[in-house]
Structure 1
Amino acid sequence: MFELSPSPTEQATTAGEGTPGTRYVYKASLVGSAHEFELRDEGLSWQARGKAGIWPYADIVAVRLSYRPMSMQSRRFRADIEHRSGQRITAFSTSWHTVVLMTPQDRDYRAFIEQLHARLKAARGTVALVGGIGPMTYAGGCLLLALVAIAIAGLLARAVATGEFAGALFLVGFAALFGWQMGGFVWRNKPRLYTFDELPATLLPPPPRNPAK
């Protein structure tokens, strides 16, 4: 039986406390209960959106890691875990705290994902380890990035030719911001396969720094 803790909201801000890497809790929205995951000996125990279950590790057939920024949180990662029945559960590296605050849980999310892969490897099942977004979505993002770059280059050339240097400066700033945001999304989310021994660094929060001695 899956046991609920007395305060899911409090857990969402202290994910993994007491058992690093084997438990993870986050809130997908301000409305509703927290999503809870726990790595047990018998499998992955989960509760989300009013449903719950325990998946033996050998029954997990796919894990997809991706980078999913939002306007309120640019450092946001996602893991989609798929059961052999086709059912899928999702974990995000951030948790809603207030209406205007989405809290990153980098350390706990990374530890949970690493431990999940370790359990899956030990189970010796057949698991598809996929990084990034789907090929069609990725191609669409690359095309959009190229079209915007061409349009900005044309406008910038015209602005310089007509002496509109203020407009040219604005375009340069816009191009830098767009390239940083969209370019980072496309670069991180390149479709790929990875292995248990080499998780994609660009699709996980950075590892915690060693404390200064």
Structure 2
Amino acid sequence: MSTSRTEQATTAGEGSSSTRYTYKGSLIGSAHELELTDHGLSWEAPGKYGIWSYADIAGVRLSYRPVSMQSRRFRADIEHNSGQRLAIFSTSWQTVALMVPQDREYRAFIEQLHRRLKAAGGPVALVGGIGPIAYAGGCLLLALVAIAVAALLARAVATGEFAGALFLLGFAALAGWQMGGFIWRNKPQLYTFDELPQTLLPPPPRNQMK
């Protein structure tokens, strides 16, 4: 794979037989470069590279992985028959304080990858969300936080600490939005080539929406 590509995500133009995606997983080191070619998934990460035939790809897992600096962050894990894995993120580090979303390019690459895998006809495990054990743990943690906040809120109201009650309501709203969104999107599921889980992908461009 060529190393002269820019560090911006691009998709090939109309009529091209390949689709490219590039992102920086960290500030240190070079970018991860991936390309869907007629021969397979070509990839290059810092210090290693390879090309995987579509028929040798055993599984794809899509998930939603927000971080403090970027709440709209998605991840795809690609597994090879040999056990090797590739992680692809929808964001790219630009500076110490800036992680740039690449929604359009990431979605286009993931959709094209699924089309290529479907055409190859090999057995591929298509999984969405996080693992069942991690999901159950997240649900339990969310329930414990809700119980604790409810108890503290009741105490604050009973003692007339209305400022504290307002703070708790704000905290509950923020925690529910962040943790609840993570749990809701990452529910373990299986999906098909024809119905990719939309909650685990960036939204499509407006001109593609019905």
Q: TM-score range by the shorter chain?
A: over 0.9
1:16 shift after superposition: 2.5
Residue 15, structure 1, aligned to residue 31, structure 2: no
Distance of 1:34 and 1:18 partners within structure 2:
21
Identify the match of residue 154 of structure 2 among 143, 146, 157: 157
1:13 shift after superposition: 2.5
Residue 98, structure 1, aligned to residue 80, structure 2: no
Distance of 2:159 and 2:13 partners within structure 1:
64
In structure 2, runs of 5+ residues without a counterpart are none
Distance of 1:197 and 1:3 partners within structure 2:
32
Question: Among the aligned pairs, what percent are the same residue?
Answer: 77
1:17 shift after superposition: 5.6
Partner of 1:4: 3
Query: 1:23·1:39 contact (CA, 8 Å) conserved in 2?
Result: yes
1:12 shift after superposition: 2.6
For this pair of structures, how many residues does the alignment match?
206
Q: How do residues 47-196 of structure 1 correspond to structure 2 at under 5 angstroms?
A: 47-196=44-193
Question: Which amino acid in 1 is paired with 2:8?
Answer: T
Query: 1:15·1:26 contact (CA, 8 Å) conserved in 2?
Result: no
1:144-167 deviations in whole A, cap 9, x for unaligned?
Answer: 000000000000011111111110
Identify the match of residue 206 of structure 2 among 184, 197, 209: 209
1:14 shift after superposition: 3.9
In structure 1, runs of 5+ residues without a counterpart are none
Coordinate RMSD, CA, aligned: 1.4
1:18 shift after superposition: 4.1
Question: Which amino acid in 1 is paired with 2:70?
Answer: Q
Query: 1:16·1:25 contact (CA, 8 Å) conserved in 2?
Result: no
1:210 shift after superposition: 1.5
Question: Which amino acid in 2 is paired with 1:125?
Answer: G
- TM-score, normalization: structure 2? 0.95
Question: Which amino acid in 2 is paired with 1:177?
Answer: L
Question: Which amino acid in 2 is paired with 1:101?
Answer: L
Distance of 2:44 and 2:13 partners within structure 1:
19
1:107-161 deviations in whole A, cap 9, x for unaligned?
Answer: 0000000000000000000000000001111011000000000000000011111
1:50 shift after superposition: 1.1
Runs of 4+ in 1 over 6 A off after TM superposition: none
- TM-score, normalization: structure 1? 0.93
1:86-113 deviations in whole A, cap 9, x for unaligned?
Answer: 0001110000011100000000000000
Q: How do residues 5-44 of structure 1 correspond to structure 2 at under 5 angstroms?
A: 5=4, 8=5, 11-16=6-11, 18=13, 22-44=19-41
Distance 1:18 1:85, change over 3 A: same
